[in-house]
Chains A and B, each alone.
Chain A
Amino acid sequence: AQSVTQLDSHVSVSEGTPVLLRCNYSSSYSPSLFWYVQHPNKGLQLLLKYTSAATLVKGINGFEAEFKKSETSFHLTKPSAHMSDAAEYFCVVRSYSSASKIIFGSGTRLSIRP
């Protein structure tokens, strides 16, 4: 069975400081992992994806994530937060075996303090 846990429902950081959004997953098979961002009243936008190539994945807007199989984690990081990063972030795990085997985390709301 697959599952995904976003460990923080809300993260608040100051502008210019690092961002860490945590995601742990469970999957019977080698999963594909994604991070999406959702700005208020908008659809979801793909930030980055892991599909069994490099374990350190770079995405848009300076975000990156590292796949750690031993820790079953796929944490999202950014060295320096910007006010425009304030949004909801979703970690997603999907199986190669079926289109229906896609699980979204419950989301982490990122707030940026001036």
Chain B
Amino acid sequence: DAGITQSPRHKVTETGTPVTLRCHQTENHRYMYWYRQDPGHGLRLIHYSYGVKDTDKGEVSDGYSVSRSKTEDFLLTLESATSSQTSVYFCAISESYFYEQFFGPGTRLTVL
């Protein structure tokens, strides 16, 4: 298995609070991605990174920000969580954008 960890694995928070999810990789892959998974929607790309300090938006980026200060870490921040952001969040990595992606175990976030 690719060396990808996500923390926390589960989180319950209240509407309006900030939340940060962390993705850590040990594979030294250049690309890192954040997805959310909701029933009936498959996975949808939130943001991705193509290098340290290089990030771009995905399909559902509103309400989310990201940062990547080191190759191995990619942070996803919900500045002010809303109930619509209740979801399972997956991090993925790839050597290049046209190579296959490897996924982390996921973080289940509940916003009350």
Interface residues in chain A, defined as those with a beta carbon under 8 Å from any beta carbon in chain B: 32, 34, 36, 41-46, 49, 51, 90, 94, 96, 98-100, 102, 104-107
Q: Could you tell me if A44 and B90 are in contact, using CB atoms closer than 8 angstroms?
A: yes
The residue from B43, B57, B101 contacting A100, defined by CB atoms under 8 A apart: B57
Minimal beta-carbon separation of A106 from chain B (angstroms)? 5
Contacts of A106 in B (CB 8 A): 40-42
Which A residue's beta carbon lies closest to that of B59? Answer: A100
Size range of the chain B interface in the assembly: 20 to 34
B100 within 8 A of A: yes
Given known A100-B48, A106-B41, contact A43–B98 (CB-CB < 8 A) = no
Minimal beta-carbon separation of B66 from chain A (angstroms)? 13
The residue from A43, A45, A96, A99 contacting B48, defined by CB atoms under 8 A apart: A99
Q: Could you tell me if A99 and B100 are in contact, using CB atoms closer than 8 angstroms?
A: no
Which B residue's beta carbon lies closest to that of A51? Answer: B98
Q: Could you tell me if A90 and B43 are in contact, using CB atoms closer than 8 angstroms?
A: yes
B29-43 contacts to A (CB < 8 Å): 31, 33, 40-43
Dominant secondary structure of chain B at its interface with chain A: strand
19 contacting pairs across A/B (C-beta < 8 A): A32-B98, A41-B106, A42-B105, A42-B106, A43-B90, A44-B43, A44-B90, A46-B100, A90-B42, A94-B98, A96-B98, A100-B48, A100-B58, A100-B59, A102-B45, A104-B43, A104-B44, A106-B40, A107-B42
Contacts of B64 in A (CB 8 A): none
Minimal beta-carbon separation of A87 from chain B (angstroms)? 14
The residue from B33, B41, B103 contacting A45, defined by CB atoms under 8 A apart: B103
Given known A43-B106, A99-B56, contact A34–B90 (CB-CB < 8 A) = no
Contacts of A107 in B (CB 8 A): 42
Contacts of B45 in A (CB 8 A): 100, 102
Which among B33, B97, B106 has the greatest number of chain A C-beta atoms within 10 A?
B97
The residue from B42, B56, B90, B102 contacting A46, defined by CB atoms under 8 A apart: B102
CA distance A42 to B106 in the complex (A): 7
CA distance A65 to B92 in the complex (A): 23
Minimal beta-carbon separation of B22 from chain A (angstroms)? 15
